[in-house]
Chain A
Amino acid sequence: MDSFAMVFAIFVLAAFVGFEVITKVPPTLHTPLMSGSNAISGIILIGAILSAGAQQTWLTAGLGFIAVVLATINVVGGFMVTNRMLEMFKRKD
């Protein structure tokens, strides 16, 4: 299997896993699901870190830096606001 087929297989399998897992999330938690998945899509941060840190040119470092800021807002803001909402649901137990 060549490398593209490999990454494509990962993509397809991840899509199946995603559909299986997400369909079990109840409507009550759909907003936390969105903010939580927002945080997960902040995974682009690792691409941003590589560009900012490699500093091949000032341009790539600059683009990387802005991307690090944006992605970190998503990661930190997303996980924190999701936690805040979920605590509201939890304390009724």
Chain B
Amino acid sequence: MSPGLVNIAYLVAASLFIFGLKGLSHPRTAVRGNLLGSLGMLLAIVITLLDQKIVGYGIILAGIVVGGGIGAVLAVRIQMTAMPQLVALFNGFGGLASILVTGAVLFEVIGLKGAAGAIPMNAQFSISTFASGFIGAITFWGSLVAFGKLQGLTNGGSVRYPGDQIVKVVLTIVILIFGYMLVQYPDSSIPYWLMVIVASVLGILVVIPIGGADMPVVVALLNSFSGLAAAAAGFVLFNSVLIIAGTLVGASGIILTLVMCKAMNRSLVNVLFGTFTVTEGGPSADEVYEGKVKSTSPEEVAMLLEGAKRVCIVPGYGMAAAQAQHAVRELFDLLEGNGTIVEFGVHPVAGRMPGHMNVLLAEADIPYERLKDMDEINPSFKQVDVTIVIGANDVVNPVARTDPDSPIAGMPILDVDYSKTVVIIKRSLSPGFAGIPNPLFAADNTLMLFGDGKKMVEDTVQCVKEELG
């Protein structure tokens, strides 16, 4: 096949990726969009297989069969609550693949040494090689740490040690030195692999201090990096479809990262390197809660719900952890059947990855029109009779609005405290990721329903059934 035809086919594939992502702008067109994207991928793969450079197909076929099998099993068997881990793992695989492809190309180019048709060994090649290996290593190891945290294999919280920032700066300098050597001594692949090793350590150290509610930012950022690593490999190989597809993913991840940061009112630098310290001097939990917290029962909540015209449900990570989404769906059906309007208020950083709650609720068959994002639902809380918060804390803490000294000051929150009654389903009064007490739990219009998210919603469903006879 002539290079011209190959390039046109790659252009078609890249266009299909763009159409595919465009399809994701609405749930109705999204399935088709995803199919267009996969069609683009198939086209790119088939065209590549026709390349004259390829002498043996056995090894490629074996790799595709093994990888395809693993991928298919993961995709079919994964629980929706475990999606953040899976996405983290996939990000990592993309990063490692970029390291290996770039490393292989480097060996090939050094072996051919300026033979006809070979990729020229110039500074631009070396810099692209550096970028691909560096971003790939950060992505792979950073994603593995993120996976470990999300899966509960390692400490999911923020792990810090004295001097951690200095270690990172030193490692970055070492990486840059290896990068310089890579350009200076293009005949050797050793600087590349040494750089990859040091960047791997840096990748681990960058993600280890990030935990809990900050995970959505990291998962989104590593998503972006996995794309950028592929784009850098595209510069190494001079391949347009790699550059376009990688850059699209890079842009997508960056946008999600910024959305997440904005939803926490923090900068990316602050999330990655800042210390999210609990401020001293704020009111203590005892001062906030003492004698003011009202505990309630599923029966009482059922009575409230029966008389409510408008109900809003606010899910948080606790709903995912308790796997309560199907019980929530049952409650939704019952109330809708009773003529109540039920909507869901989803905070952008609820859960452990962008859109985490929406996927769980979609899995439970909640119509997506009822899933409202923060800006949409906030103006309507004053008209809501009962808001049920399931396993969320910081994202509904009114001190973000009222106390300028609070660590979450200025963070956009769901204004659930404006609704007539707030029911909070939570195991205890323990603080959220920000480590501060939540005055909402002690507010006059708040009732606490202490217990496991799933169990409490199921009990409430039972009581509503009895109420409605």
A59–B59 CA distance with the chains assembled, in angstroms: 13
Query: Is A46 a contact of B97 with CB atoms below 8 Å?
Result: no
User: B41: which A residues are within 8 A, CB to CB?
Assistant: 39-40, 42-43, 45, 75, 79
| B423 interface hit (Cβ, 8 Å) | no
B74/A81 in contact, CB under 8 A: yes
Q: Can you sample 26 A-B contacts with CB below 8 Å? A: A19-B255, A25-B24, A25-B25, A31-B359, A33-B354, A34-B87, A34-B219, A35-B86, A35-B87, A37-B248, A40-B37, A43-B41, A44-B94, A52-B59, A55-B55, A68-B67, A69-B66, A70-B93, A70-B100, A71-B97, A73-B74, A73-B93, A77-B71, A78-B75, A81-B86, A86-B30
How far apart are A60's CB and chain B's nearest CB, in angstroms?
4
Binary per-residue interface labels of chain A (63-93) against chain B in the complex, 1 for a CB within 8 Å, 0 otherwise? 1111111111111111111111111111111
Check B67 against A70 for contact (C-beta < 8 Å).
Answer: yes
Docked pose: A34 CA to B362 CA in angstroms:
16
Size of chain A's interface in residues, with CB distance under 8 A? Answer: 81
The residues of B with any CB-CB pair to A shorter than 8 Å are: 14, 17-18, 20-22, 24-28, 30-31, 33-35, 37-38, 41, 44-45, 48-49, 51, 53-57, 59-60, 62-64, 66-68, 70-72, 74-76, 78, 80, 83, 86-87, 90-91, 93-94, 96-98, 100-105, 107-108, 111-112, 124, 219-220, 223, 226-227, 229-231, 233-235, 237-253, 255-256, 259, 346, 348, 353-356, 358-359, 362-363, 365-369, 371, 373
The distance in angstroms between the C-alpha atoms of A34 and B227, with both chains bound, is: 11
Shortest C-beta distance, A44 to chain B (Å), equals 4
A1 at the interface (CB under 8 A from B): no
Decide: B27 and A28 in contact? CB cutoff 8 A: yes
Contact B67 A63 (CB under 8 A): no
Which secondary structure dominates chain A's binding surface?
Answer: helix
Taken together as a complex, chains A and B put the C-alpha atoms of A42 and B96 apart, in Å, by 11
Nearest residue, chain A, Cβ from B30: A86
Complex-state Cα separation, A17 to B289, whole angstroms: 51
Q: Which residue of B107, B247, B366 contacts A57 across the interface (Cβ within 8 Å)?
A: B107
Taking a contact as CB atoms under 8 Å apart, the answer to whether A29 and B355 are in contact is yes
Bound Cα distance from A74 to B27, whole angstroms: 23
Cβ–Cβ contact A3 & B238, under 8 A: yes
Are B83 and A31 in touch, CB under 8 angstroms? yes
